[in-house]
Amino acid sequence: MVTIRSETAESGGDPPLLELRGITKAFLDVRVLHGIDLDLRRGEVHAVVGENGAGKSTLMKIISGVYPPDGGSVALDGRPVSFRSPRQAQSAGVGIIHQEFNLLPERTVAENVFLGHEPLRRGLVDTRTMLRRTAELLDAVGETSFAPTARVGGLGVARQQVVEIVKALALDARLLIMDEPTAALADHEVELLYGLVRRLQERGIGVLYVSHRLVEVFDLSSRITVLKDGRRVTTVPTARTSQDQLVRHMVGRELAHYYPPRAEPGRADEVRLSIRNGANDRLRGVDLDLRAGEVLGIAGLQGSGRSALARAVFGVAPFTSGEVRLGGRPVRLRTVRSAVRAGIVYITEDRKGEGIAARQSVLDNALLAGRAVFPRWAGRAARTVRVRELLAAVEVRAAGDQQEIRFLSGGNQQKVVLARWLALSPRVLLFDEPTRGIDVGAKSAIHDLVRRLARDGAAVLMISSELPELLGMSDRIVVMRDGAVAGELPAQATEEDVMGLATGAVRGEPR
Amino acid sequence: MTAAPSAPQRTPAVPRREVRTLRTAVGADPARGVFVALALTLAIGWVVVALDGGQLLNQSSVVSLLHVATGLGLVAAGQTLVILGGSLDLSVGYVVSLSTLIAAETMNGSDSRIGPAILLVMAVSVAVGLVNGFLVATVGINAFIATLGVGLLLKGYLENGYDGPAGSTAPTLVQTLGYQRVGPVPVAFLLFLAVAAAIWFALRRTRYGHHLVAVGGDAQVARLSGVRNDRVLILSHVLCALCAGLAGVYLASRLGSGAPRVGVESFYDLESIAAVVLGGAALAGGRGGVVGTVGGVLLLASVDSVFNQLDVDAFFKQVVRGVIIIAAVALYARRRHRRHRERNGARS
């Protein structure tokens, strides 16, 4: 049987499906949520929007039982609940669809949908019931393009998303959290998702819809809650607001941080790196000029192709078409090695995963790139001396350069990574979220370093999700959207300008 | 509202419903490959042996081929389970040796002690499996190291206690499990097929089977779906060790006594893994099946048989087996890669 509950619209007195009161949460000493209130009615699509780092994902993880809240209350149907695990939340009817899929590509749709609660008959898995119920659920959400026996890995991303949703429904979800459900979808697939969300709504299922894409939010939701810096700014009926107003709510805050002075106009003129019509499977038609002596900021939402751009230049996932020129001469940057040899370096956003060798010493980490790419570079002793000087110059604070790097703070780890690349005297530096997860003091130090590098003649490209940082540091800002350059803004741009381009609100054309 | 963009109006093309009811995802595709390879090996082997003036598939060679397949197959059937779960078991060779000794010494030539002997073998196997599973799933030691360590432990015990065959297998067991045949097919080979069929059924129709493939496929997904990963892995290690124990009983019946080095000399640890991988399983887990393993076992046994009839040098034989295994896995890897690319192509 299909057990999607369809409760009739209630008259005012009934408690809402979900009610959050004063939810707070801190990680270590950093408060990420400050007393969030939110409620969701049956059959409602309630959108939650905010910049990167506004606290949306943390809030969703609290509702779905991944984290416990530090304070405040969660109530389902008016009854207080406190989930200790995703499993408990699931059995209470809270389903979450994460950005990354929780599916087994090698298994069939039905096997995925019923994983962990396979129906049994005489102690054996009742395959027939499994297939039948999966088919019923697929029908219930209006999906007829694939069978319950299809292999999940063979389905497109949109259909995998449907499988995720059906998996949540198989557990009798009454409340569905969708975290950036369209991040991986193409346009026509987004449309499929729209239909699905509306059908869930008709069945009385409440949907919390987290998205960066304001267009979708306006198409789907009946109310919108804006979060900023872990606080709720406002909750408004969708019909009574506009994209402009929302963007203002999302970004309105004061610049408190000090940023080093920008380059003097006219200093940055030599085009160091130029990309014409660069494309690969994540990027299309990218034209970009990066000048010596400037800091070029790259803005955009998650998945807009910011990192893909830096990684293409660095040869991690190279351009498959288009032309790249370095100092006026065409170059082929097919591998990281060729990029490094050409004087291009990339400071990754994923410091833990890609930036540091956690169990190696500070010195080994700083020597890593030089040793790997220039084996005979400067002679062992000389290079060690040089790197030690650099470590001192960037003011790494460690118990000594033989200390394992994993014991250092994030800021100091980042400085070691920086020293590693500076040792190669790079001509082009690609910074990807250089201050993510770094405390305020170290942040300033890194900002100063970035600016000093530009002043000394390096060409700097800096990706950041933090708009104040981007606006404070950049001489120009290029905004990316959907794998392409959405527009360029001068240093005096406002956060509204950037968000407008990044969300597509400014152009106002259909996606 | 600024010029509010509306949803695209285009109706999506609805592709036809994929109809693949009979083939489930597990084991269907690569398993076919290994049987094609098996058929090719037999065909080419037959021709080559015929040119050499012999006949590949005569009664005695078929019987010996199937006996080779039985010993390896019992071990590999169990190995399939742990590999599907993303683990592996390097102690199986020593469990086989130990089991031959326990069986033969407990029976000591008496038919009346067959029951207790088999029970004791099972108990010891379960114990070894529990230790393996505990180390891998609960303590979280890498399976390679954990099962290698347990294997070395058993090796120490065996080498300390025995320098040659010991004990004597009950005559009835030797006559039946060791030598009885139905036509050219040894009874023991039928036993292997029965074990494989039981595992095949368990993978398809029990929760354990479904959960095992999930744990191997993506431990995190399994956990978030409510699977108790550690139990599933421990049970797999126990079943794997039980299969190795069963192989020990079979070999004791074949040899008439316990043989402290038989498991190691037959390279059951690495060959069983090779057979599973030849059958299309991913060493990382989550993909493969026992049908493929049966194919892999028969393929290795056939290659063996061909070389034996050609009197090929034993060392050269190893070289060829190595080439076959590498080539097969490289082929699978290529195919996976292509499929992966297609999928990513659909993504963007």
**Residue finishing a domain among A116, A149, A172:** A172
Amino acid at B86: G
Q: Which of A152, A156, A163, A150 is nearest to A186 (CA)?
A: A156
A186 is a domain residue: yes
Nearest CA in chain B to A146: B17
Å between A181 CA and nearest CA of chain B: 14
Per-residue model confidence (pLDDT) at position A6: 37
E-strand ranges in B11-68 read none
What is the mean predicted confidence (pLDDT) over A396-418?
Answer: 85
A107 is a domain residue: yes
Per-residue model confidence (pLDDT) at position B14: 37
Spell out the domains of chain B, with CATH numbers in brackets. Answer: 58-333 (1.10.3470)
Domain total for chain A? 4
Per-residue model confidence (pLDDT) at position B25: 37
Cβ of B8 within 8 Å of Cβ of A105? The answer is: no
The answer, for B139 touching chain A at a CB cutoff of 8 Å, is no
A24 is a domain residue: yes
Residues of B in contact with A154 (CB under 8 A): 18, 343
A228 is a domain residue: yes
What is the mean predicted confidence (pLDDT) over A88-116?
Answer: 86
Cβ of B7 within 8 Å of Cβ of A194? The answer is: yes
Q: Which candidate in A61, A84, A85, A104 is best for mutational testing of the B interface (most B CBs within 10 A)?
A: A104
Q: 273-312 in B: which are within 8 Å (CB) of A?
A: 286-287
Cβ of B20 within 8 Å of Cβ of A149? The answer is: yes
Question: pLDDT for B196-239, tens place per residue?
Answer: 999 999 999 999 999 999 999 999 888 878 788 999 999 999 99
Per-residue model confidence (pLDDT) at position A507: 57
Per-residue model confidence (pLDDT) at position B343: 46
Residues of A in contact with B218 (CB under 8 A): 102, 104
> B207-217 and B187-205 helices cross at what angle (nearest 10)?
80
* Cα–Cα distance measured from residue B100 to residue B43, given in angstroms and rounded to the nearest whole number: 35
Whether A108 and A116 have beta carbons less than 8 Å apart is answered as no
Q: Does one domain contain both A166 and A188?
A: no
Percent of chain B with pLDDT over 90: 58
CA separation (Å) from A309 to A50, A459, B184?
Answer: 24, 15, 65
How many Å separate Cα A67 from the centre of its chain?
A: 19
Å between B108 CA and nearest CA of chain A: 40
Q: What is the pTM of this model?
A: 0.71
Q: Residue A50: pLDDT above 60?
A: yes
Cβ of B214 within 8 Å of Cβ of A115? The answer is: yes
Amino acid at B294: V
Looking at every residue in chain A, the average pLDDT score rounds to: 85
> H/E element holding A157?
helix A157-170
* Cα–Cα distance measured from residue A506 to residue A483, given in angstroms and rounded to the nearest whole number: 17
Q: Does one domain contain both A143 and A222?
A: no
Cβ of A511 within 8 Å of Cβ of B5? The answer is: yes
Q: Does one domain contain both A322 and A459?
A: yes
Question: pLDDT for B145-170, tens place per residue?
Answer: 999 999 999 999 999 989 889 989 99
Residues of A in contact with B7 (CB under 8 A): 190-191, 194, 219, 510
Cβ of A154 within 8 Å of Cβ of B343? The answer is: yes
Cβ of A102 within 8 Å of Cβ of B220? The answer is: yes
Q: Please count the residue pairs, one from chain A and one from chain B, whose beta carbons lie less than 8 angstroms apart.
A: 137
* Cα–Cα distance measured from residue A494 to residue A223, given in angstroms and rounded to the nearest whole number: 27
A406-410, A435-439, B88-92, B249-253: least confident range:
A435-439
The answer, for B19 touching chain A at a CB cutoff of 8 Å, is yes
Structure tokens belonging to residue B297: 């076992």
Q: Which of B26, B210, B226 sits opposite A87 (nearest CB)?
A: B226
Return the residue matching tokens 């006949």.
Answer: B55
Q: Which of A86, A125, A150 sits opposite B210 (nearest CB)?
A: A125
Residues of A in contact with B6 (CB under 8 A): 219, 510
Q: Does one domain contain both A80 and A30?
A: yes
Cβ of B206 within 8 Å of Cβ of A146? The answer is: no
Per-residue model confidence (pLDDT) at position A383: 81
Per-residue confidence band for A57, with pLDDT thresholds at 50, 70 and 90: confident
Other C-beta atoms within 10 Å of B300: how many?
Answer: 25
Q: Does one domain contain both A246 and A181?
A: yes
**Residue finishing a domain among A204, A231, A253:** A253
User: Exposed, middle or buried: residue A502 (CB in 10 Å: 0-12, 13-18, 19+)?
Assistant: buried
What is the mean predicted confidence (pLDDT) over A477-495?
Answer: 91
**Residue finishing a domain among A151, A172, A193:** A172
The answer, for B221 touching chain A at a CB cutoff of 8 Å, is yes
Residues of A in contact with B346 (CB under 8 A): 156-157
What ipTM describes this predicted complex? 0.80
Residues of B in contact with A123 (CB under 8 A): 206
Residues of A in contact with B229 (CB under 8 A): none
Other C-beta atoms within 10 Å of A276: how many?
Answer: 14
Q: Does one domain contain both A89 and A224?
A: yes
Cβ of A145 within 8 Å of Cβ of B2? The answer is: no
Percent of chain B with pLDDT over 70: 88
A126 is a domain residue: yes
Q: Does one domain contain both A80 and A52?
A: yes
Question: CA neighbours within 13 Å on the CB side: how many for A82?
Answer: 8
Q: 191-230 in A: which are within 8 Å (CB) of B?
A: 191-192, 194, 215, 218-219
The answer, for A180 touching chain B at a CB cutoff of 8 Å, is no
The values of phi and psi at residue A61, to 5°, are -70, -30
Q: Does one domain contain both A338 and A431?
A: yes
Q: Residue B263: pLDDT above 50?
A: yes
Question: pLDDT for A341-385, tens place per residue?
Answer: 999 999 998 888 888 888 899 999 998 888 888 877 656 778 888
Å between B78 CA and nearest CA of chain A: 21
Cβ of B210 within 8 Å of Cβ of A115? The answer is: yes
* Cα–Cα distance measured from residue A202 to residue A224, given in angstroms and rounded to the nearest whole number: 19
Cβ of B12 within 8 Å of Cβ of A192? The answer is: yes
Å between B284 CA and nearest CA of chain A: 13
Per-residue confidence band for B34, with pLDDT thresholds at 50, 70 and 90: confident
A354 is a domain residue: no
* Cα–Cα distance measured from residue A90 to residue A100, given in angstroms and rounded to the nearest whole number: 18
Q: Does one domain contain both A112 and A40?
A: no
Q: Which residue has the higher pLDDT, B28 or A98?
A: A98
Per-residue model confidence (pLDDT) at position B346: 37
Q: 405-444 in A: which are within 8 Å (CB) of B?
A: none
Q: 64-93 in A: which are within 8 Å (CB) of B?
A: 86-87, 90
Nearest CA in chain B to A239: B1
Per-residue model confidence (pLDDT) at position B30: 59
Q: Which of A242, A508, A510 sits opposite B8 (nearest CB)?
A: A510
- The parent domain of residue A416 ranges over 363-424
A460 is a domain residue: yes
* Cα–Cα distance measured from residue B190 to residue B193, given in angstroms and rounded to the nearest whole number: 5
Whether A257 and A442 have beta carbons less than 8 Å apart is answered as no
Q: Does one domain contain both A139 and A179?
A: no
A222 is a domain residue: yes
* Cα–Cα distance measured from residue A93 to residue A199, given in angstroms and rounded to the nearest whole number: 18
Residues of A in contact with B286 (CB under 8 A): 104, 106
Per-residue model confidence (pLDDT) at position B16: 38
The domain that holds A270 is classified in CATH as: 3.40.50.300
Amino acid at A434: P
Q: Does one domain contain both A133 and A265?
A: no
* Cα–Cα distance measured from residue A310 to residue A290, given in angstroms and rounded to the nearest whole number: 12
Q: Residue B12: pLDDT above 60?
A: no
Residues of B in contact with A108 (CB under 8 A): 24-25
Question: pLDDT for B286-295, tens place per residue?
Answer: 888 999 999 9
* Cα–Cα distance measured from residue B303 to residue B275, given in angstroms and rounded to the nearest whole number: 12
Residues of A in contact with B210 (CB under 8 A): 111, 115, 118, 125
Percent of chain A with pLDDT over 90: 38
**H helical segments located in A374-494:** 380-393, 410-422, 440-455, 467-473
Cβ of A111 within 8 Å of Cβ of B24? The answer is: yes
Q: Does one domain contain both A233 and A192?
A: yes
